[in-house]
Amino acid sequence: MASIFTKIIQGEIPCELVLQTNSEIAFLDINPSSKGHTLVVPKCEVARLEELPAEDAAALMQTLQRVARAVSRSLDNSDYNIVLNNGTNAGQEVPHVHFHIIPRPAGSSRPFRNKEAYAEGEMSRYGQQIRECLD
């Protein structure tokens, strides 16, 4: 079954379109975390970033950069977060990879406040585990 984003891409559901290319679409989030909150979505429907073909991922990053610059400029060069929720445990609600550009004007809350320290030797163990999984 097509995701809600695929239905938007196919024109079955309306959106406030920001940009459309051959391989991506960008539109305003209907439940924004702040005014100007924009989603950048590949037209290729895959649930996770690592499932996206490399050429589509490269094009997506270029579009993400272009749209992020425009979002910032449109809001007086506002700072912003770029967020990817990759999987349900990470907060992904729509099983179609997408990036959030969330403007952070002066006075807005600061994310990533909660920190978790590594125990002795843990950092090198995690680093090694990740290196062993690189393609």
Strand order in the sheet with 99-104: 17-20, 24-28, 38-42, 99-104, 79-84
Active centre residues (catalytic): 98
| Torsional sign, CA 2, 11, 67, 54 | positive
